[in-house]
Structure 1
């Protein structure tokens, strides 16, 4: 077994064949105000 992986196929890869895609943020983080409201609700329970 060889310690180094075979990179010959990676070197031949053509990035130009890839399609362009648009990424969308689906799972946004809550705002600071929302976090504070949740903390307050947790304290009263």
Structure 2
């Protein structure tokens, strides 16, 4: 049986990488909804079609 040493973490994380991050290097992307929710009208039409 072997024993692993527990990973020691400080109380406060190192935020150096986050604070020095350059946002200008990011590319601009357009977000597209892959599975948009149906409108209220579509839901009502399906309810009526299902109850007939």
Give TM class, smaller chain: 0.5 to 0.7
| Count of residue pairs brought into register by the alignment | 44
Detail structure 1 runs of 4+ shifted over 4 Å in the superposition: 41-44
What is the RMSD of the two structures over their aligned residues, measured on CA atoms? 1.7
Structure having the higher helix fraction is 1
Unpaired runs of at least 5, structure 2: 1-8
Gaps of 5+ in 1: none
Between structure 1 and structure 2, the one with the greater Rg is 2
Q: How does 1:1-40 map to 2 (within 5 A)?
A: 1-40=9-48
